[in-house]
Amino acid sequence: MSSRSRSLPRRSCLSTPGSSSRFLAKAPTATADFSFLDLEDSVAPNEKVAARAKVVDAITNLPWDDRVLCVRVNAWDTPWTYGDVIDVVGNAGPRLDEVMLPKVQRASDVVALDLLLSQVERNAGLEPGHIGIEAQIETALGLINVEEICASSPRLESIVFGPADFAASIGMPVTTIDETIHDGPSNPFSYVFAKILMAGRANGLHVIDGPFLKVRDLNALRFAAGISASYGFDGKWALTPDQAVVLNEVYSPSQELFDKSFDILDAYRDATEKDHTGAVMFGDEMIDEASAKIANSFVARGARSGMQRTTK
Ligand code: GLV
Ligand code: MG
């Protein structure tokens, strides 16, 4: 439910094809913060309709613990979107937290989904606003409109980058999404990352990086994930349970950083409350209100991932 899932971590977002009962059965065993059951690009066109019932069955019958649970429906330029929403949200019950909408081009794409969800929720006896929305930015037009998209509905929880479709949309000369995309004199995604991150943060959304397709190379994944993590992204898609393990680590603060953040907050509190000064030396660094804000964000991120302070 969106009030439940909004504050949960999303370091690793595991994708599972909704047409595969075998992969669906395995998905809850992965140590992922977030699972989405896919009706879009990992499902063949002639399996799309049959996959809906498999996804409903998986949502209602598998042991999902408290991770965020989402279904990715097909985009509005296909024949399947409304049927995906009616059949899955209408029958999955309250354990489904979110719907992911791919290839979002304009704010009105999200508004249309929001309106449809309101009717389906009523008819299914779900709380109004129960289902959150994740919007995928994976076209040039979607990126241009990302600010309006991020502000388009109170149901929005995350904005997600889709690098594979995006590369196709802008004509990048690549055939896969791997670490080499970030090589060379410039990172072609740096503008994209910054733009999506600003739009998401300005609207209080989680900001998520998309898939890394060379699935067997976990070191290369660690490198690529480190880039969006360094911008401040909250997590990234995992295509396998092994990728999820790496991502949980990359998008958590290190224990050293987590502990240091508490130490900074203690030092800043002493400085402001006892010594009545706004800036103070912390080792060889000057810290002030902004440092406390940074430290608070690491504390929140670590706490969301279940970390404990080991100093003091
Ligand atoms: C994900 O949907 C992508 O296109 O990268
Ligand atoms: Mg895509």
Residue 101 in domain: yes
Q: Are residues 195 and 299 in the same domain?
A: no
- What is the atom index within ligand 1 of the atom nearest the CA of 177? 5
Decide: pTM greater than 0.85: yes
Q: Are residues 48 and 123 in the same domain?
A: yes
Higher pLDDT, 260 or 179: 260
Q: Which among 228, 250, 272 is the end of a domain?
A: 250
The whole-number pLDDT of residue 3 equals: 78
Q: Are residues 161 and 204 in the same domain?
A: yes
Range of the domain at 229: 3-250
Q: Which among 207, 231, 250 is the end of a domain?
A: 250
Q: Are residues 216 and 297 in the same domain?
A: no
Q: What is the pLDDT of residues 39-94, one digit of tens each?
A: 999 999 999 999 999 999 999 999 999 999 999 999 999 999 999 999 999 999 99
Residue 312 in domain: no
Residue 159 in domain: yes
- Band (pLDDT 50/70/90 cuts) for residue 185 is low
The whole-number pLDDT of residue 176 equals: 84
Residue 160 in domain: yes
Average pLDDT (24-47) is: 98
Residue 61 in domain: yes
Average pLDDT (154-159) is: 98
Q: Are residues 237 and 198 in the same domain?
A: yes
Ligand 1 and 38: CB distance under 6 A: no
User: Is residue 232 within 8 Å of residue 185, measured between CB atoms?
Assistant: no
Ligand 1 and 162: CB distance under 6 A: yes
CATH number, domain containing residue 10: 3.20.20.60
Q: Are residues 262 and 244 in the same domain?
A: no
Give the number of domains in the chain: 2
pLDDT at position 2 over 70: no
- What is the atom index within ligand 1 of the atom nearest the CA of 237? 1
Ligand 1 and 165: CB distance under 6 A: yes
Q: Are residues 119 and 153 in the same domain?
A: yes
> Which of 41, 139, 143, 181 for mutating ligand 1's site (highest number of atoms within 8 Å of CB)?
41
Q: Are residues 239 and 275 in the same domain?
A: no
Q: Are residues 39 and 82 in the same domain?
A: yes
Cα–Cα distance for residue pair 281/288, rounded to 1 Å: 9
